[in-house]
Structure formats: structure tokens, C-alpha cells
């Protein structure tokens, strides 16, 4: 097969994986809103597609370097390796969509890329694997614990909703002021954030802690206070409306973040081939990922949203909010570190943690056990299949 044909196959494989990610991995953030009856399944799917695509464009590529270049040492991915790796990952995720068992894209893609990389003759990047494994292992207990504590606080009778919900919203506002947004200008290699952009406009101010100066701290607090005041006013008018709107906004933030994280899985390997064709540029690769997420969210997300909303834990609006807060924070942490991250892992563990606040009756132990086995099988299986498939493809070509 010619090099041009292989590039086309690799390109189509990236599109396929982007679709699978939009259908599976970016869809769980809106599931709690559906479970709490704040949104219909189809409206949630629409929001997933649009917001994930926006996240891919504004935050995309943060994990591309890790997925494309840091998983294997001593070997560079070829067009054939990219095609085989991405198609392998897409196949695993598509099976998850068809069976309503969300397969972590980070596991499937990482395993597949490692498999084809080893088949190329590369060496395992053991230090990277150690860091990723540590992060992945810590996600479920961390997300579940934060969600459980948040849900417990929101259920306390001495913490009225007119105060608890706005305070939680204020904390989220502080985080939003510090998320990376590529549309904002940045200098000196610093992460472009709302807080840092405001600091540049204001000018030099005293350093408060680390890379944060006074202007960045004030901007972060201002975003938090503004969010608090908006929710406080709404809650005084109608607590139910305020809670539902906050729930939808949180789901949107996590869906946006998931697009910024998950697109790196689809375009990271393809990005290593940028420059081999005049049409294959960094901007083109990002747009391909964003479009795939959009279409995947619109066409494939409803099945996964329904599964996560109704089969793992029956949540009310407050416990749903408790599930989304750690999901947002952990997802942005993964983007900051450049780690491929499983949104399914984060969302499901957070949903379970917030559900445990009222006991274990609403938790499907069988569903969770089968899902955990499927996740581990995806990591190991995608690696083995990627390795074997690349060997067979190389022999055939």
C-alpha cells in the first residue's frame, strides 16, 4: 500500500475514534442531569456534542504529546501504526457503545498505541506507565470520596440550599478562571487562562504563591464571587430552578473539559504524522477531532447517557451535583498534567460515591463489576490486539 493510502487510512481511523469518543467517553457528564430529570436524553446528547467539540478546539491537544510521543521509546509511529492503533481503540469503544458498557478511551487508546509501538520495535516507557497507572488508580477513590463528602454536606439540614449551592458554585467559578483556554493570548509558554489574561491586562502585581500574582488571585476570587451571587439570587427566587440550572451548567463544564481531554486520544497519534501531507496540519488534525466528537455526541451518546443515568445509581439533583464537581476538577487536572484520562472512570466513580450517601440499595454491584473487568480487558486486550494486528498488517503490506 502506498504512503498516501496509508495516510488516508490513518486519517479515517482518527475520524472513527473521534466519533467513538464523542459517543462514549464524552457523554457521561450529562448523564446525572438526565438521571435527575433536568434534561431529556436527546437534549443532553446535543449539548455533549456541541460542548465537547468546543472543548476540543479551545483545550484540545494537551494530551496529544503524551499519546503520540511518550508511550514508546526509541521508535516513531508510522502511518500504518497510527491506523492500526486508532482502529483498534475505536473498535473497543464501539463495542462499549453497542453493549452500553462504557469502555475507557484512555485505556483502549493507550493500550493500542503501546501495542503497535512495541511491534515497531520500540521500548516501553516504564516511567510514563508508572505515572499514568498511579493517576488512574487514584481517580476512582478520589472522585468517589469528594462526591460522597459533597453530597453529605448538601444533604445537611443546617446547610440551606440557598447557601450551600451558591458556595459550591463559587468554588467552581474559581476553577473556571484557571482552566486553560487556547483562544486567550499567553506569553513565555505560560498556560492561557482567564486569570492570567486579566493579570496581563492589569500589569505587574506582587507574587502571592508560585506562579500566581495578586491580579490572578483577585480575578479567580472575582469569578467565584460572581458565580456565588448569581446562584444566590436564583436560589432565593426558586431553589429547584437554581439547583437544576447549576446541575446542567456543571454537566456542560465537564462535557467541555472531556472534549479537551479526549480529543488528544484521537489526534495524538495522527499529530505525529503532521507535515507528511500539505493537508495534514496541526489545525486540520484538531478540527478533525472536534468534528468527530460533535457527530459522535449527536448520534451515539444517547445509549451511554441512558446507561450511566439509570443503571449505576439512582441520583437526585443534589447528589448529581456532588458527582459532577469532582469530575470537573479531576478532568481539568488531567488536562493540566497532559495525562490521557478516562471520563467514564471519573464520572462513574463520582456517581457511585454520591449515591452511597443514601446507602447501597441504588447501586448495581453486578454492573460495576462487569464494567471494571471490561475496563481492564480493554487495556490489556487493546495492547495485544494492536501488537498482533500491526504484525499482520506489516506482513500483508
Nearest to 28 by CA among 323, 274, 365, 332: 323
pLDDT value, residue 102:
64
Can you give the pTM of this predicted structure?
A: 0.86
Containing structural domain, residue 148: 3-396
pLDDT value, residue 312:
47
* CA distance linking residue 39 with residue 248, whole number of Å: 8
Q: Which three cell numbers stand for residue 116?
A: 503497535
Nearest 5°: CA angle at 50, between 332 and 251?
Answer: 50
Instruction: Give the pLDDT means over successive 10-residue stretches in the chain (397 positions).
Output: 78 86 80 78 90 88 81 90 90 75 81 94 93 90 90 84 92 94 76 89 83 91 96 92 90 91 87 73 83 88 76 66 89 88 79 74 68 81 94 80
pLDDT value, residue 275:
65
Contact 289, 269 (CB under 8 A): no
Q: Which long-range contacts (CB under 8 A, 24 or more apart) does 150-159 make?
A: 150/321, 150/322, 150/325, 150/326, 150/354, 151/318, 151/319, 151/322, 151/323, 151/353, 151/354, 151/357, 152/357, 154/318, 154/319, 154/321, 154/322, 155/318, 155/357
Three-state helix/strand/coil letters over 159-209? CCHHHHHHHHHHHHHHHHCCCCCCCCCCCCCCCCCHHHHHHHHHCCCCEEE
**Residue 360 contacts by C-beta under 8 Å, 6 or more apart in sequence?**
none
Domain total of the chain: 1
Amino acid at each position: 500500500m502506498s504512503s498516501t493510502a496509508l495516510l488516508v487510512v490513518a486519517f479515517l481511523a482518527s475520524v472513527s475514534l473521534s466519533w467513538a469518543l464523542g459517543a462514549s467517553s464524552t457523554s457521561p457528564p450529562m448523564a446525572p442531569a438526565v438521571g435527575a430529570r433536568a434534561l431529556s436524553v436527546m437534549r443532553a446528547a446535543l449539548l455533549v456534542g456541541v460542548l465537547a467539540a468546543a472543548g476540543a478546539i479551545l483545550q484540545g491537544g494537551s494530551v496529544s504529546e503524551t499519546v503520540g510521543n511518550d508511550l514508546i521509546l526509541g521508535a516513531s509511529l508510522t502511518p500504518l501504526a497510527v491506523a492500526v492503533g486508532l482502529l483498534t481503540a475505536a473498535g473497543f469503544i464501539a463495542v462499549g457503545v453497542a453493549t452500553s458498557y462504557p469502555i475507557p478511551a484512555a485505556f483502549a487508546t493507550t493500550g493500542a498505541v503501546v501495542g503497535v509501538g512495541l511491534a515497531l520495535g520500540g521500548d516501553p516507557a516504564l516511567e510514563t506507565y508508572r505515572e499514568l497507572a498511579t493517576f488512574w488508580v487514584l481517580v476512582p477513590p478520589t472522585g468517589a470520596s469528594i462526591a460522597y463528602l459533597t453530597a453529605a454536606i448538601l444533604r445537611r439540614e443546617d446547610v440551606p440550599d440557598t447557601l450551600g449551592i451558591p458556595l459550591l458554585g463559587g468554588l467552581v467559578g474559581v476553577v473556571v478562571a484557571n482552566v486553560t483556554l487556547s483562544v486567550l493570548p499567553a506569553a513565555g509558554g505560560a498556560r492561557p487562562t482567564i486569570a492570567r489574561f486579566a493579570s496581563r491586562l492589569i500589569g505587574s502585581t506582587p507574587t502571592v504563591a508560585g506562579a500566581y500574582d495578586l491580579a490572578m488571585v483577585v480575578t479567580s476570587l472575582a469569578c467565584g464571587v460572581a458565580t456565588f451571587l448569581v446562584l444566590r439570587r436564583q436560589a432565593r427566587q426558586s431553589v429547584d430552578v437554581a439547583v437544576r440550572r447549576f446541575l446542567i451548567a456543571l454537566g456542560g463544564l465537564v462535557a467541555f473539559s472531556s472534549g479537551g481531554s479526549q480529543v488528544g486520544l484521537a489526534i495524538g497519534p495522527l499529530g505525529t504524522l503532521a507535515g507528511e501531507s500539505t493537508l495534514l496540519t496541526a489545525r486540520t488534525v484538531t478540527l478533525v477531532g472536534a468534528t468527530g466528537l460533535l457527530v459522535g455526541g449527536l448520534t451515539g451518546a444517547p445509549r451511554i447517557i441512558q446507561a450511566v443515568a439509570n443503571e449505576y445509581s439512582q441520583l437526585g439533583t443534589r447528589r448529581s451535583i456532588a458527582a459532577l464537581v469532582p469530575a470537573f476538577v479531576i478532568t481539568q487536572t488531567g488536562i493540566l498534567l497532559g495525562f490521557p484520562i478516562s471520563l467514564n472512570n471519573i464520572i462513574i466513580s463520582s456517581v457511585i460515591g454520591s449515591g452511597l450517601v443514601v446507602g447501597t440499595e441504588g447501586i448495581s454491584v453486578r454492573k460495576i463489576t462487569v464494567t471494571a473487568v471490561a475496563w481492564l480487558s480493554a487495556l490489556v486486550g487493546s495492547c495485544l490486539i494492536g501488537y498482533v494486528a500491526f504484525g499482520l498488517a506489516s506482513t500483508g503490506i
